[in-house]
Structure 1
Amino acid sequence: MGRSALSQPRRTGAAHDDARLRDRLVHGDETAFAELYEQFESLVFTIAARVTHDGQAAEDVTQEVFLAMWQRPLAFEPAKGSLRGWLAMMAHRRAVDLVRREEAHRRTSQDERLHAGAVSGGDPVGDQVTDADTAQRLSTALKALPRHLGRAIALAYLEGHTYREVATELGLPEGTAKSQLREGLRRLAVALNDLHADDGQER
């Protein structure tokens, strides 16, 4: 009982200090921001580094967290928890968001490299495209595709556009453009193989 009674004033005092610091930030008190940064920078950076496993990324997250606190101090509500806990939560959330953005960027870059590889010879269809002897067969195969698929394939594999550029050119969502390119490639490969087989039979 006595221990609980002794700890209660410390919790109340800490909450009061957090609220007071928040209010100073609301009024644009730069010294309050300096105090905030000095007190919690190490905490925020450590959490961000633990999630990102990257020092530079952790620094970016740390800057984002403190900038957000400076710009929107009222987002922190002392009645709901401590300032330390709130900053820790923000650091973890923003670090996770950064990692997800980086993973999405890597996936996008990989997709674009795969499409570029098809033009330069890393794709069975691309190999046939670069062969001058198959130019006529390619033209015939493209004409056999539905118009929307043929246009997407021509933009990506003959004119060298990325799928994002194809999406912009055709006025499509990026996901739709990627789906059309995949389907167009599949059908084009089948059509080219069929034409090649027909040529063999004629000979």
Structure 2
Amino acid sequence: MDPTRPAVAGVPSPEGAPATPDLGDLMNLSARGDQAAFAQLYDAIAARVFGLAVRVVRDPAQAEEVTQESLLEIWRTASRYDGELGSPMAWILTIVHRKAVDRVRSAEAASRRDTTYHSQNQAVDHDTTADAAHASLEAKRVRDALHSLTQVQREALELAYFGGYTHTEVATMLDLPVGTAKTRIRDGLIRLRDTMGVGT
């Protein structure tokens, strides 16, 4: 072993004693492009990186992607680590947290876009809408046409067709002979159809 190389995790010291993992040393070596050192760093931090990621994004699959992105970022930017500003793990977890929060925000934005798109492009139930509009217009036409009837015709028609009463019941309620009630209803219908332009 090269005695000038700092002892790192999993690598025995020159005296043969097992070295204590030192994330700072691993970070410094990774910053110089030492892939073996980064592999050891990876093994030392991967579990904690994933743990933080899954706590933030709450989805194991998403957390795995955040973990990969974070470790790649750590490899690329290891030279920016400054031991005087904090511990290696604090620096690492700051990167992980930022990546995880970005992933959550991105997912929320995508969800909002999907919701907006579906609400704006949802197929309108044209048949139901048209039927409702048609029924509303027809009801207005009938109401307007009813005003063209005489008072006695309107009373008889409203009882028979809107009230649901039989001709006999209409006659009783209006104190009329049944024949007279029927005549008023028939005359009212004829006038109503004429007013609405419906063929008899």
| TM-score, length of structure 1 as denominator length | 0.50
Q: 1:104 maps to what in 2?
A: 109
Q: 1:48 maps to what in 2?
A: 53
Query: Deviation of residue 64 (structure 1)?
Result: 1.0
Query: Deviation of residue 122 (structure 1)?
Result: 5.8
- For residues 110-160 of structure 1, give each alpha carbon's deviation from its aligned partner in whole angstroms, at most 9, with x where no partner exists: 11111111xx2069xxx56xx9xxxxxxxxxxxxxxxxxxxxxxxxxxxxx
Q: 1:24 to 1:115 in 2, by over 3 A?
A: same
Q: 1:121 aligns with which of 124, 130, 149?
A: 124
Greater gyration radius: 2
CA distance in 1, matches of 2:75, 2:32: 10
CA distance in 1, matches of 2:42, 2:64: 13
CA distance in 2, matches of 1:96, 1:114: 27
Fraction of identical pairs, as percent: 33
Q: 2:84 aligns with which of 49, 74, 79?
A: 79
Query: Deviation of residue 19 (structure 1)?
Result: 3.9
RMSD between aligned residues: 2.4
Pairing 1:16-165 to 2, within 5 Å after superposition: 17-117=22-122, 120-121=123-124
CA distance in 2, matches of 1:84, 1:70: 14
AA aligned opposite 1:121: V
Match of 1:121, SS?
Answer: coil
AA aligned opposite 2:85: K
Unaligned runs of 5+ in 1: 1-16, 132-202
Runs of 4+ with deviation above 6 angstroms: none
Match of 2:69, SS?
Answer: helix
Unaligned runs of 5+ in 2: 1-21, 134-196
Q: 1:191 maps to what in 2?
A: none
Match of 1:87, SS?
Answer: helix
Task: Kindly indicate whether the alpha-carbon contact (under 8 Å) linking 2:57 and 2:100 is maintained by their aligned counterparts in 1.
Answer: yes
CA distance in 1, matches of 2:97, 2:77: 18
Q: 1:24 to 1:111 in 2, by over 3 A?
A: same
| TM-score, length of structure 2 as denominator length | 0.50
Task: Give the length in aligned residue pairs.
Answer: 110
CA distance in 2, matches of 1:32, 1:78: 17
Query: Deviation of residue 82 (structure 1)?
Result: 0.7
